[in-house]
Structure 1
Amino acid sequence: MDTAPHTAAAIDAATAVGPVALTVRDRARVAAWYRDVLGMVPLAEDGRAVVLGAADGTPLVTLVGAPDAPLAGRRAPGLYHVAILLPARADLGRWLRHTAAVGARLQGASDHLVSEATYLADPEGNGIEVYRDRPRAEWPRRDGRIHMDNSPFDIAGVLADGDAVGRRFDGLPAGTVVGHVHLKVADVAATRRFYVDTLGFEATEEGYPSALFVAAGGYHHHFGLNAWESAGGTRVAGATGLRHATVTMAPAARAAHAARLAAAGLGADAGPATAAVDPSGNRLLFVDRPIDAATALALADA
């Protein structure tokens, strides 16, 4: 594990993640799945891409159609999962009832102590987490750091909270956001130097083998970064899967951060964003908060 000292100033505490953009072969089929299973609605689209999100207009995923794109292999760095954060435990329970009604197949569920999470994949294998956070005051700590774990998921309790609302799931509620993005990387030590020592994220959890979790502002993690399948792997240009993840910042904070990236020889202008690529080839776009659907669509090819 890399133990290089934290050399960058901490990234602005209000930094968060925004929508991800994915390359898919069958845009219509995948978009229908995000609508029918996850409860997203189309917010903006053109002849090639569609932005999907919550009913309040918050963009969550941009799908860019490329029927001839090569398939990303399991060992290639890229998306491990995009994590959709619901406002409350009851929302998670209502969504779980919905998945049973539509016959969606979950791949797993876990209590991470800071959150309760479920996992599944879209029709082209892109990983999805749907979760709710516990209140920050309940997050356990070990040796001064936030402690996460994989404990049994209380499905009965989550479903009961959802049932108590007395109405069926009818789409992602207002306040739903992308809570974090989990990426596959080729080398955890190099990844730590980039996200912590250069970008200024805090390393919040390093107790998992071949993995690192980083965040801003005391959150449990905005990025998960693991080499479980992808150690030593390389990205294939134009392949299916992750095109970019967005990082949202207040305008003044983003301007300062763009200057930091430029000083490190990393940042590049990409329309309304500043782009940087991590050591594994995962592309990040730093954008002003809030990001709307029109901006997400404009960034599809950034």
Structure 2
Amino acid sequence: MTPAIDHVVLTVRDLPGMAGFYRDALGLAPLGGDGGTARLGAGSRTLLELRRDPAARPRDPRQAGLFHTAFLLPDRAALARWLRHAADNGIRLSGASDHGVSEALYLEDPEGNGIEIYRDRPESDWSRDGGRIAMFTRRLDLDSLLSAADGAWRGAPEGSTVGHVHLQVGDLDRADEFFAGDLGLARTFDAAGGAWYGWNGYHHHLAGNTWNSLGAGMRGPATAGLAEVVIHDPRRAGETVADPWGTPFRFVQAEVPPPPR
């Protein structure tokens, strides 16, 4: 089975406030937890785990760590419904882009963690050159997207996943050794200060950039933000490896595996 992102774990300073944001703004359903953790997702599948540490240092945007967690919705209509929900509820976007392979909306959570909400175009529409996939960043036609809404937003629909995770790294060469070597990803796209990687021909499951974090060292302990990336891969279940900046990547055999590509 092809590896895929199972879920993302964040260390948060305000657990009730952050859980409420992901529930109300993004429509992730509460799936359990305790006084120190909260799990949220779509259907019965956990996409995000929040771990409480009120003493954690606030996230430093210049550090290595999370650039954004990208939640992939099943279709364009679902993305349009979420955009309408955001507009109706005053949810502030930080960006909206057409990437050729996808349509994407961007925002931040209350503690500064980046979020992307997106839908993929059909793979038949992607432009490939061998293992490379052409991507770009152009202005997204929000009016066109809104026209695809077919009803009210009722929360993240069944089939929503964490499509990819984009990281801030200190050095692209060291990141490449980790992504391609330790994680077995193929490099699919390059741009100034960034590189994108995927398994099994996907445009990207992981990416790294140095736009804010060039030269960053190891992340300090007890810092809010990305705690670990959990990867569904039964062949490596039980393993954990860390990137050069200290972020753990843990492999699991998920109870609810991600849908096939």
Alignment TM-score > 0.5, same fold: yes
The reply on whether 1:230 has 2:195 as its aligned counterpart is no
1:247 to 209, 217, 231: 231
- Structure 1 match to 2:197: 214
1:169, CA displacement in angstroms?
Answer: 0.4
TM-score w.r.t. structure 1 length?
0.82
RMSD: 1.4
- Structure 2 match to 1:279: 244
| Partner AA of 1:47 in structure 2 | G
2:11 to 23, 46, 52: 23
- Structure 2 match to 1:38: 26
TM-score w.r.t. structure 2 length?
0.94
Q: Equivalents in 2 of 1:291, 1:38: separation in Å?
A: 21
Q: Equivalents in 2 of 1:15, 1:154: separation in Å?
A: 32
- Structure 2 match to 1:295: none
The reply on whether 1:175 has 2:163 as its aligned counterpart is no
Classify the secondary structure of the residue corresponding to 1:52: strand
1:290, CA displacement in angstroms?
Answer: 4.0
1:118, CA displacement in angstroms?
Answer: 0.4
The reply on whether 1:107 has 2:94 as its aligned counterpart is yes
The reply on whether 1:288 has 2:246 as its aligned counterpart is no
Flag as ranges the 4+ runs of structure 1 deviating above 2 A: 141-144, 289-292
1:46, CA displacement in angstroms?
Answer: 1.1
Bigger proportion of residues as helix: 1
| Partner AA of 2:25 in structure 1 | V
Gaps of 5+ in 1: 1-11, 256-272, 293-302
Bigger proportion of residues as strand: 2
Instruction: Give matches, 1:31-180, under 5 Å.
Output: 31-54=19-42, 56-142=43-129, 145-162=132-149, 165=150, 167-180=151-164
Post-superposition Cα deviations, 1:61-102, rounded to whole Å, max 9, x if no partner, equal 111111111112111111100000000000000000000111
Contact 2:76–2:119 (CA<8 Å) still a contact in 1?
yes
Classify the secondary structure of the residue corresponding to 2:55: coil
Contact 1:19–1:59 (CA<8 Å) still a contact in 2?
yes
Q: Equivalents in 2 of 1:278, 1:150: separation in Å?
A: 27
Post-superposition Cα deviations, 1:150-182, rounded to whole Å, max 9, x if no partner, equal 0120211111111xx2x2001011100000000
Which structure is larger by alpha-carbon Rg, 1 or 2?
1
Taking only the aligned residue pairs, the percentage that are identical comes to: 43
Classify the secondary structure of the residue corresponding to 2:231: strand
Classify the secondary structure of the residue corresponding to 1:81: strand
Cα distance, 1:210–1:287 mapped onto 2, change above 3 Å: same
Cα distance, 1:157–1:45 mapped onto 2, change above 3 Å: same
